[in-house]
Structure 1
Protein backbone atom coordinates (compact mmCIF):
# COMPACT_ATOMS: atom_id res chain seq x y z
CA UNK A 1 0.00 0.00 0.00
CA UNK A 2 1.24 3.48 -0.82
CA UNK A 3 1.83 5.52 2.33
CA UNK A 4 1.78 9.30 2.86
CA UNK A 5 5.00 10.88 1.72
CA UNK A 6 5.38 8.70 -1.35
CA UNK A 7 5.28 10.54 -4.66
CA UNK A 8 2.83 8.10 -6.24
CA UNK A 9 -0.82 9.11 -6.22
CA UNK A 10 -3.05 6.85 -4.14
CA UNK A 11 -6.24 5.59 -5.80
CA UNK A 12 -8.45 5.62 -2.73
CA UNK A 13 -11.60 4.85 -4.72
CA UNK A 14 -10.20 1.41 -5.58
CA UNK A 15 -9.48 0.53 -1.95
CA UNK A 16 -11.92 -1.45 0.17
CA UNK A 17 -12.95 -0.31 3.64
CA UNK A 18 -10.38 -2.48 5.41
CA UNK A 19 -7.55 -1.02 3.37
CA UNK A 20 -8.80 2.50 3.99
CA UNK A 21 -8.97 1.93 7.74
CA UNK A 22 -5.46 0.49 7.69
CA UNK A 23 -4.22 3.54 5.79
CA UNK A 24 -5.83 5.91 8.29
CA UNK A 25 -4.34 3.97 11.18
CA UNK A 26 -0.94 4.51 9.57
CA UNK A 27 -1.45 8.26 9.40
CA UNK A 28 -3.07 8.77 5.99
CA UNK A 29 -5.82 11.32 6.60
CA UNK A 30 -6.83 11.45 2.95
CA UNK A 31 -7.99 7.87 3.33
CA UNK A 32 -10.41 9.08 5.99
CA UNK A 33 -11.71 11.65 3.50
CA UNK A 34 -12.60 8.76 1.19
CA UNK A 35 -14.36 6.97 4.04
CA UNK A 36 -16.45 10.08 4.69
CA UNK A 37 -17.37 10.43 1.03
CA UNK A 38 -18.59 6.84 0.96
CA UNK A 39 -20.60 7.12 4.16
CA UNK A 40 -21.85 10.71 4.21
CA UNK A 41 -25.27 10.17 2.68
CA UNK A 42 -26.35 7.29 4.86
CA UNK A 43 -24.97 8.77 8.06
CA UNK A 44 -26.69 12.10 7.37
CA UNK A 45 -29.99 10.36 6.68
CA UNK A 46 -29.69 8.27 9.83
CA UNK A 47 -28.89 11.34 11.93
CA UNK A 48 -31.71 13.23 10.25
CA UNK A 49 -34.08 10.41 11.11
CA UNK A 50 -33.33 10.95 14.81
CA UNK A 51 -32.87 14.70 15.27
CA UNK A 52 -35.41 15.74 12.61
CA UNK A 53 -33.40 18.77 11.50
CA UNK A 54 -30.98 19.23 8.60
CA UNK A 55 -28.48 21.53 10.28
CA UNK A 56 -28.32 19.50 13.48
CA UNK A 57 -27.98 16.29 11.50
CA UNK A 58 -24.90 17.73 9.82
CA UNK A 59 -23.47 18.66 13.23
CA UNK A 60 -24.18 15.16 14.51
CA UNK A 61 -22.38 13.52 11.61
CA UNK A 62 -19.37 15.83 11.88
CA UNK A 63 -19.08 15.18 15.59
CA UNK A 64 -19.46 11.45 15.02
CA UNK A 65 -16.68 11.50 12.44
CA UNK A 66 -14.40 13.25 14.92
CA UNK A 67 -15.12 10.54 17.51
CA UNK A 68 -14.68 7.81 14.91
CA UNK A 69 -11.30 9.17 13.84
CA UNK A 70 -10.11 9.15 17.43
CA UNK A 71 -11.41 5.60 17.98
CA UNK A 72 -10.43 4.10 14.65
CA UNK A 73 -7.60 2.16 16.28
CA UNK A 74 -10.28 0.16 18.12
CA UNK A 75 -12.05 -0.88 14.91
CA UNK A 76 -11.48 -4.60 14.45
CA UNK A 77 -13.82 -5.33 11.55
CA UNK A 78 -16.28 -7.39 13.58
CA UNK A 79 -19.00 -5.36 11.85
CA UNK A 80 -18.92 -3.49 8.55
CA UNK A 81 -17.29 -0.07 8.76
CA UNK A 82 -20.53 1.67 7.78
CA UNK A 83 -22.40 -0.21 10.52
CA UNK A 84 -19.75 0.79 13.05
CA UNK A 85 -19.99 4.43 11.99
CA UNK A 86 -23.79 4.29 12.04
CA UNK A 87 -23.73 3.25 15.68
CA UNK A 88 -21.47 6.19 16.54
CA UNK A 89 -23.83 8.56 14.74
CA UNK A 90 -26.85 7.10 16.54
CA UNK A 91 -25.12 7.45 19.92
CA UNK A 92 -24.33 11.09 19.19
CA UNK A 93 -27.84 11.82 17.90
CA UNK A 94 -29.60 10.14 20.82
CA UNK A 95 -27.28 11.86 23.27
CA UNK A 96 -28.32 15.21 21.86
CA UNK A 97 -31.96 14.21 21.99
CA UNK A 98 -31.71 13.34 25.69
CA UNK A 99 -29.94 16.60 26.44
CA UNK A 100 -32.44 18.61 24.44
CA UNK A 101 -35.64 17.14 25.88
CA UNK A 102 -35.51 19.12 29.10
CA UNK A 103 -34.51 22.44 27.50
CA UNK A 104 -36.83 22.60 24.47
CA UNK A 105 -39.68 25.05 24.86
CA UNK A 106 -42.85 25.59 22.88
CA UNK A 107 -41.32 28.22 20.59
CA UNK A 108 -38.50 25.88 19.56
CA UNK A 109 -41.00 23.16 18.74
CA UNK A 110 -43.01 25.53 16.55
CA UNK A 111 -39.88 26.66 14.71
CA UNK A 112 -38.73 23.09 14.08
CA UNK A 113 -42.12 22.20 12.65
CA UNK A 114 -41.84 25.06 10.15
CA UNK A 115 -38.42 23.99 8.87
CA UNK A 116 -38.25 22.45 5.42
CA UNK A 117 -36.64 19.02 5.34
CA UNK A 118 -34.67 17.44 2.55
CA UNK A 119 -33.86 13.80 3.14
CA UNK A 120 -35.23 12.11 0.07
CA UNK A 121 -33.54 13.37 -3.09
CA UNK A 122 -35.37 12.84 -6.37
CA UNK A 123 -32.86 13.84 -9.07
CA UNK A 124 -34.27 15.20 -12.28
CA UNK A 125 -33.95 13.13 -15.43
CA UNK A 126 -31.14 13.97 -17.80
CA UNK A 127 -32.06 16.72 -20.20
CA UNK A 128 -35.13 18.92 -20.18
CA UNK A 129 -37.91 18.37 -17.69
CA UNK A 130 -41.27 20.08 -18.01
CA UNK A 131 -41.53 22.80 -15.31
CA UNK A 132 -44.99 21.55 -14.34
CA UNK A 133 -43.63 18.02 -13.88
CA UNK A 134 -40.67 19.33 -11.89
CA UNK A 135 -42.99 21.36 -9.65
CA UNK A 136 -45.24 18.36 -9.09
CA UNK A 137 -42.21 16.19 -8.28
CA UNK A 138 -40.98 18.76 -5.75
CA UNK A 139 -44.40 19.03 -4.13
CA UNK A 140 -44.66 15.25 -3.85
CA UNK A 141 -41.18 15.08 -2.33
CA UNK A 142 -42.03 17.72 0.25
CA UNK A 143 -45.28 15.97 1.19
CA UNK A 144 -43.41 12.71 1.66
CA UNK A 145 -40.64 14.30 3.70
CA UNK A 146 -43.16 16.02 5.97
CA UNK A 147 -45.01 12.75 6.48
CA UNK A 148 -41.75 10.95 7.33
CA UNK A 149 -40.81 13.74 9.75
CA UNK A 150 -44.07 13.19 11.64
CA UNK A 151 -43.39 9.50 12.21
CA UNK A 152 -42.41 8.52 15.76
CA UNK A 153 -38.64 8.38 15.99
CA UNK A 154 -38.43 4.61 16.48
CA UNK A 155 -40.39 4.02 13.26
CA UNK A 156 -38.80 6.90 11.36
CA UNK A 157 -35.22 5.71 11.71
CA UNK A 158 -36.13 2.17 10.63
CA UNK A 159 -38.03 3.54 7.62
CA UNK A 160 -35.10 5.75 6.61
CA UNK A 161 -32.61 2.89 6.79
CA UNK A 162 -34.78 0.30 5.07
CA UNK A 163 -36.71 2.27 2.47
CA UNK A 164 -34.53 5.29 1.76
CA UNK A 165 -31.06 3.87 2.27
CA UNK A 166 -31.97 0.36 1.13
CA UNK A 167 -30.35 -1.39 4.09
CA UNK A 168 -31.17 -5.03 4.66
CA UNK A 169 -33.21 -6.11 7.66
CA UNK A 170 -30.10 -7.66 9.18
CA UNK A 171 -27.97 -4.55 8.64
CA UNK A 172 -30.66 -2.30 10.09
CA UNK A 173 -31.04 -4.57 13.10
CA UNK A 174 -27.29 -4.63 13.70
CA UNK A 175 -26.98 -0.86 13.38
CA UNK A 176 -29.89 -0.13 15.72
CA UNK A 177 -29.21 -3.03 18.09
CA UNK A 178 -32.67 -4.50 17.46
CA UNK A 179 -34.01 -7.93 16.69
CA UNK A 180 -34.82 -8.52 13.03
CA UNK A 181 -38.45 -9.15 13.99
CA UNK A 182 -38.58 -5.73 15.63
CA UNK A 183 -37.21 -4.08 12.48
CA UNK A 184 -39.87 -5.79 10.36
CA UNK A 185 -42.65 -4.80 12.76
CA UNK A 186 -41.56 -1.18 12.96
CA UNK A 187 -41.20 -0.91 9.19
CA UNK A 188 -44.70 -2.31 8.73
CA UNK A 189 -46.14 0.19 11.19
CA UNK A 190 -44.16 3.07 9.62
CA UNK A 191 -45.57 2.22 6.19
CA UNK A 192 -49.08 2.05 7.59
CA UNK A 193 -48.71 5.40 9.35
CA UNK A 194 -47.34 6.98 6.18
CA UNK A 195 -50.20 5.65 4.10
CA UNK A 196 -52.69 7.08 6.56
CA UNK A 197 -50.91 10.44 6.75
CA UNK A 198 -50.60 10.78 2.98
CA UNK A 199 -54.19 9.72 2.44
CA UNK A 200 -55.42 12.32 4.92
CA UNK A 201 -53.24 14.97 3.27
CA UNK A 202 -54.21 14.16 -0.29
CA UNK A 203 -57.85 13.15 0.09
CA UNK A 204 -58.99 16.75 -0.09
CA UNK A 205 -57.38 17.18 -3.51
CA UNK A 206 -58.58 13.96 -5.14
CA UNK A 207 -61.61 15.66 -6.68
CA UNK A 208 -59.25 18.06 -8.47
CA UNK A 209 -57.13 15.49 -10.32
CA UNK A 210 -57.38 15.09 -14.11
CA UNK A 211 -59.00 18.54 -14.59
CA UNK A 212 -61.23 18.80 -17.62
CA UNK A 213 -62.62 22.32 -17.41
CA UNK A 214 -61.21 25.26 -19.35
CA UNK A 215 -59.63 25.03 -22.80
CA UNK A 216 -59.72 21.24 -22.99
CA UNK A 217 -63.45 21.19 -22.27
CA UNK A 218 -64.08 23.96 -24.82
CA UNK A 219 -61.99 22.23 -27.49
CA UNK A 220 -63.79 18.92 -27.13
CA UNK A 221 -67.22 20.56 -27.00
CA UNK A 222 -66.50 22.60 -30.13
CA UNK A 223 -65.27 19.51 -31.97
CA UNK A 224 -68.47 17.61 -31.18
CA UNK A 225 -70.62 20.55 -32.21
CA UNK A 226 -68.80 20.74 -35.54
CA UNK A 227 -69.45 17.07 -36.15
CA UNK A 228 -73.11 17.49 -35.28
CA UNK A 229 -73.38 20.45 -37.62
CA UNK A 230 -71.87 18.44 -40.45
Structure 2
Protein backbone atom coordinates (compact mmCIF):
# COMPACT_ATOMS: atom_id res chain seq x y z
CA UNK A 1 0.00 0.00 0.00
CA UNK A 2 1.56 3.24 -1.16
CA UNK A 3 1.39 6.37 0.90
CA UNK A 4 1.42 9.92 -0.38
CA UNK A 5 4.23 12.16 0.84
CA UNK A 6 2.98 14.52 3.48
CA UNK A 7 3.02 18.14 2.47
CA UNK A 8 4.60 20.70 4.76
CA UNK A 9 1.96 22.66 6.72
CA UNK A 10 1.50 26.23 5.52
CA UNK A 11 2.48 27.60 8.93
CA UNK A 12 5.53 25.37 9.36
CA UNK A 13 7.94 28.27 8.83
CA UNK A 14 6.46 30.03 11.87
CA UNK A 15 7.62 27.13 14.03
CA UNK A 16 11.16 26.87 12.68
CA UNK A 17 14.13 28.25 14.57
CA UNK A 18 16.06 31.17 13.20
CA UNK A 19 18.98 28.89 12.33
CA UNK A 20 16.69 26.54 10.40
CA UNK A 21 15.19 29.44 8.48
CA UNK A 22 18.64 30.75 7.59
CA UNK A 23 19.66 27.29 6.39
CA UNK A 24 16.59 27.20 4.15
CA UNK A 25 17.24 30.74 2.96
CA UNK A 26 20.72 29.67 1.89
CA UNK A 27 18.91 27.25 -0.45
CA UNK A 28 16.85 30.19 -1.77
CA UNK A 29 13.68 29.08 -0.06
CA UNK A 30 11.26 31.98 -0.55
CA UNK A 31 9.04 31.03 2.37
CA UNK A 32 12.02 31.03 4.72
CA UNK A 33 13.15 34.45 3.50
CA UNK A 34 9.65 35.84 3.97
CA UNK A 35 9.43 34.44 7.47
CA UNK A 36 12.80 35.91 8.46
CA UNK A 37 11.68 39.28 7.14
CA UNK A 38 8.40 39.02 9.04
CA UNK A 39 10.22 38.29 12.28
CA UNK A 40 12.82 41.02 11.85
CA UNK A 41 10.81 43.86 10.32
CA UNK A 42 9.86 45.58 13.55
CA UNK A 43 13.29 45.36 15.11
CA UNK A 44 15.20 46.55 12.04
CA UNK A 45 12.80 49.36 11.22
CA UNK A 46 13.04 50.79 14.72
CA UNK A 47 16.81 50.60 14.60
CA UNK A 48 16.90 52.33 11.22
CA UNK A 49 14.36 54.91 12.36
CA UNK A 50 16.59 55.63 15.33
CA UNK A 51 19.18 57.01 12.90
CA UNK A 52 17.20 58.32 9.94
CA UNK A 53 15.02 61.42 9.92
CA UNK A 54 11.97 59.97 8.18
CA UNK A 55 10.01 56.75 7.92
CA UNK A 56 10.69 56.53 4.17
CA UNK A 57 14.46 56.70 4.70
CA UNK A 58 14.26 54.09 7.43
CA UNK A 59 12.31 51.72 5.19
CA UNK A 60 14.89 52.17 2.44
CA UNK A 61 17.66 51.35 4.91
CA UNK A 62 15.89 48.17 6.01
CA UNK A 63 15.35 47.16 2.40
CA UNK A 64 19.02 47.76 1.66
CA UNK A 65 19.94 45.63 4.67
CA UNK A 66 17.73 42.74 3.58
CA UNK A 67 19.14 42.83 0.06
CA UNK A 68 22.71 42.93 1.35
CA UNK A 69 22.11 40.09 3.80
CA UNK A 70 20.21 37.72 1.55
CA UNK A 71 22.53 38.22 -1.42
CA UNK A 72 25.61 37.62 0.74
CA UNK A 73 24.49 34.80 3.01
CA UNK A 74 27.79 33.08 2.27
CA UNK A 75 29.37 35.82 4.37
CA UNK A 76 27.31 34.83 7.41
CA UNK A 77 29.59 32.51 9.39
CA UNK A 78 27.09 31.84 12.18
CA UNK A 79 29.50 33.09 14.80
CA UNK A 80 26.57 35.16 16.05
CA UNK A 81 22.81 35.01 15.58
CA UNK A 82 21.49 36.00 12.17
CA UNK A 83 19.41 38.74 13.81
CA UNK A 84 22.59 40.19 15.30
CA UNK A 85 24.41 39.98 11.98
CA UNK A 86 21.65 41.72 10.03
CA UNK A 87 21.32 44.34 12.78
CA UNK A 88 24.93 45.33 12.15
CA UNK A 89 24.26 45.39 8.40
CA UNK A 90 21.31 47.71 9.03
CA UNK A 91 23.47 50.03 11.11
CA UNK A 92 26.09 50.05 8.34
CA UNK A 93 23.47 50.79 5.66
CA UNK A 94 22.10 53.66 7.72
CA UNK A 95 25.59 55.04 8.30
CA UNK A 96 26.34 54.89 4.57
CA UNK A 97 23.16 56.78 3.71
CA UNK A 98 23.85 59.42 6.33
CA UNK A 99 27.39 59.84 5.05
CA UNK A 100 26.21 60.21 1.46
CA UNK A 101 23.57 62.71 2.54
CA UNK A 102 26.19 64.82 4.35
CA UNK A 103 28.49 64.71 1.35
CA UNK A 104 25.65 65.76 -0.94
CA UNK A 105 24.72 68.63 1.36
CA UNK A 106 28.31 69.85 1.43
CA UNK A 107 28.49 69.59 -2.35
CA UNK A 108 25.24 71.48 -2.93
CA UNK A 109 25.83 73.87 0.00
CA UNK A 110 22.13 73.51 0.69
CA UNK A 111 20.80 72.55 4.06
CA UNK A 112 17.40 70.89 4.00
CA UNK A 113 14.85 72.28 6.46
CA UNK A 114 14.20 70.28 9.60
CA UNK A 115 11.12 68.11 9.70
CA UNK A 116 9.21 69.37 12.75
CA UNK A 117 6.39 66.90 12.26
CA UNK A 118 8.53 63.81 11.71
CA UNK A 119 7.00 60.78 13.34
CA UNK A 120 8.29 57.39 14.39
CA UNK A 121 5.78 54.82 13.20
CA UNK A 122 5.95 51.44 14.82
CA UNK A 123 6.36 49.25 11.75
CA UNK A 124 4.27 47.61 10.53
CA UNK A 125 1.27 49.84 11.21
CA UNK A 126 -1.94 48.60 12.74
CA UNK A 127 -5.43 49.45 11.63
CA UNK A 128 -7.17 51.91 13.88
CA UNK A 129 -10.58 51.10 15.28
CA UNK A 130 -13.13 53.88 14.91
CA UNK A 131 -13.69 54.18 18.66
CA UNK A 132 -12.91 56.84 21.24
CA UNK A 133 -10.54 54.46 23.00
CA UNK A 134 -8.68 53.82 19.73
CA UNK A 135 -8.54 57.56 19.04
CA UNK A 136 -7.07 58.15 22.48
CA UNK A 137 -4.42 55.52 21.89
CA UNK A 138 -3.57 57.05 18.51
CA UNK A 139 -3.21 60.52 20.04
CA UNK A 140 -1.01 59.22 22.84
CA UNK A 141 1.14 57.31 20.38
CA UNK A 142 1.44 60.34 18.13
CA UNK A 143 2.59 62.44 21.11
CA UNK A 144 5.21 59.87 22.11
CA UNK A 145 6.41 59.27 18.55
CA UNK A 146 6.81 63.00 17.90
CA UNK A 147 8.75 63.34 21.16
CA UNK A 148 11.02 60.41 20.27
CA UNK A 149 11.64 61.96 16.85
CA UNK A 150 13.07 65.05 18.59
CA UNK A 151 15.77 63.05 20.38
CA UNK A 152 19.32 63.26 19.03
CA UNK A 153 20.10 60.22 16.84
CA UNK A 154 22.48 58.61 19.35
CA UNK A 155 19.86 58.76 22.12
CA UNK A 156 16.96 57.89 19.84
CA UNK A 157 18.71 54.78 18.55
CA UNK A 158 19.45 53.35 21.99
CA UNK A 159 15.96 54.19 23.22
CA UNK A 160 14.23 52.48 20.29
CA UNK A 161 16.48 49.43 20.44
CA UNK A 162 15.74 48.96 24.14
CA UNK A 163 12.17 50.18 24.62
CA UNK A 164 10.63 49.41 21.22
CA UNK A 165 12.62 46.39 20.08
CA UNK A 166 13.17 44.87 23.51
CA UNK A 167 16.93 44.39 23.21
CA UNK A 168 18.93 44.12 26.40
CA UNK A 169 21.51 46.77 27.23
CA UNK A 170 24.29 44.23 26.73
CA UNK A 171 22.97 43.30 23.28
CA UNK A 172 22.78 46.96 22.33
CA UNK A 173 26.32 47.56 23.55
CA UNK A 174 27.51 44.60 21.51
CA UNK A 175 25.62 45.58 18.34
CA UNK A 176 26.77 49.21 18.51
CA UNK A 177 30.29 48.38 19.71
CA UNK A 178 29.84 50.67 22.70
CA UNK A 179 30.78 50.28 26.37
CA UNK A 180 27.84 49.08 28.46
CA UNK A 181 28.12 52.20 30.62
CA UNK A 182 27.71 54.43 27.56
CA UNK A 183 24.55 52.61 26.54
CA UNK A 184 23.10 52.96 30.05
CA UNK A 185 23.91 56.67 30.09
CA UNK A 186 22.34 57.28 26.68
CA UNK A 187 19.18 55.42 27.67
CA UNK A 188 18.90 57.43 30.87
CA UNK A 189 19.44 60.71 29.00
CA UNK A 190 16.88 59.69 26.39
CA UNK A 191 14.27 59.04 29.08
CA UNK A 192 14.98 62.34 30.81
CA UNK A 193 14.73 64.27 27.54
CA UNK A 194 11.51 62.53 26.58
CA UNK A 195 9.98 63.36 29.94
CA UNK A 196 10.93 67.01 29.47
CA UNK A 197 9.68 67.15 25.87
CA UNK A 198 6.34 65.56 26.72
CA UNK A 199 5.92 67.76 29.79
CA UNK A 200 6.56 70.88 27.69
CA UNK A 201 4.06 69.74 25.07
CA UNK A 202 1.23 69.12 27.49
CA UNK A 203 2.00 72.07 29.77
CA UNK A 204 -1.20 74.05 30.17
CA UNK A 205 -3.06 71.57 28.02
CA UNK A 206 -4.66 69.34 30.62
CA UNK A 207 -8.02 70.97 29.98
CA UNK A 208 -8.12 69.09 26.69
CA UNK A 209 -8.09 65.60 28.19
CA UNK A 210 -11.26 63.62 28.95
CA UNK A 211 -13.36 65.92 26.76
CA UNK A 212 -17.07 65.99 27.40
CA UNK A 213 -18.51 68.47 24.96
CA UNK A 214 -20.63 68.69 21.86
CA UNK A 215 -23.42 66.15 21.53
CA UNK A 216 -22.30 64.26 24.62
CA UNK A 217 -22.68 67.40 26.70
CA UNK A 218 -26.09 68.16 25.19
CA UNK A 219 -27.39 64.65 25.80
CA UNK A 220 -26.26 64.77 29.43
CA UNK A 221 -27.92 68.17 29.96
CA UNK A 222 -31.19 66.95 28.44
CA UNK A 223 -31.19 63.83 30.59
CA UNK A 224 -30.52 65.69 33.85
CA UNK A 225 -33.13 68.35 33.13
CA UNK A 226 -35.73 65.69 32.31
CA UNK A 227 -35.04 63.87 35.58
CA UNK A 228 -35.21 67.08 37.62
CA UNK A 229 -38.52 67.95 36.05
CA UNK A 230 -39.91 64.52 36.89
CA UNK A 231 -38.93 65.11 40.51
CA UNK A 232 -40.36 68.62 40.38
CA UNK A 233 -36.99 70.10 41.12
CA UNK A 234 -37.43 72.45 38.16
CA UNK A 235 -40.27 74.73 37.25
CA UNK A 236 -41.99 73.23 34.24
CA UNK A 237 -42.87 76.69 33.04
CA UNK A 238 -39.18 77.09 32.06
CA UNK A 239 -39.76 74.74 29.07
What TM-score do you get using the length of structure 1 for normalisation? 0.80
Residue among 114, 119, 122 paired with 2:122: 119
- Structure 1 pair 144/120, CA: closer, same or farther in 2 (3 Å)? farther
Contact 2:44 2:90 in 1 (8 A): yes
Q: For 1:157 and 1:28, locate their aligned partners in 2 and report how far apart those are by CA, in whole Å.
A: 32
- State the SS of the aligned residue for 1:157: helix
Q: For 1:204 and 1:85, locate their aligned partners in 2 and report how far apart those are by CA, in whole Å.
A: 44
Q: Are 1:173 and 2:173 counterparts?
A: yes
1:22-171 equivalent positions in 2, closer than 5 A: 22-104=23-105, 105-106=110-111, 108-110=112-114, 112-119=115-122, 131-171=131-171
How much does 1:161 deviate?
0.8
Q: For 1:75 and 1:27, locate their aligned partners in 2 and report how far apart those are by CA, in whole Å.
A: 15
Q: For 1:28 and 1:210, locate their aligned partners in 2 and report how far apart those are by CA, in whole Å.
A: 52
- Structure 1 pair 208/21, CA: closer, same or farther in 2 (3 Å)? closer
- Structure 1 pair 207/29, CA: closer, same or farther in 2 (3 Å)? closer
How much does 1:47 deviate?
0.8
Q: For 1:92 and 1:15, locate their aligned partners in 2 and report how far apart those are by CA, in whole Å.
A: 28
- Structure 1 pair 124/99, CA: closer, same or farther in 2 (3 Å)? closer
Contact 1:48 1:119 in 2 (8 A): no
Q: For 1:9 and 1:209, locate their aligned partners in 2 and report how far apart those are by CA, in whole Å.
A: 52
Contact 1:173 1:183 in 2 (8 A): yes
Question: Which structure's residues are more often helix, by fraction?
Answer: 1
- Structure 1 pair 115/169, CA: closer, same or farther in 2 (3 Å)? closer
Unpaired runs of at least 5, structure 2: 235-239
Equivalent residue number for residue 3 of structure 1: none
Q: For 1:53 and 1:7, locate their aligned partners in 2 and report how far apart those are by CA, in whole Å.
A: 47
Larger radius of gyration: 2
- Shifted more, 157-166 versus 191-200: the winner is 157-166
The CA RMSD over aligned residues, in Å, is 3.1
After superposition, the C-alpha distances for 1:134-167 in whole angstroms (9 at most, x for unaligned) are 2222111111111100100000010001111111
- Structure 1 pair 28/133, CA: closer, same or farther in 2 (3 Å)? closer
- Structure 1 pair 186/123, CA: closer, same or farther in 2 (3 Å)? same
- Shifted more, 212-221 versus 96-105: the winner is 212-221
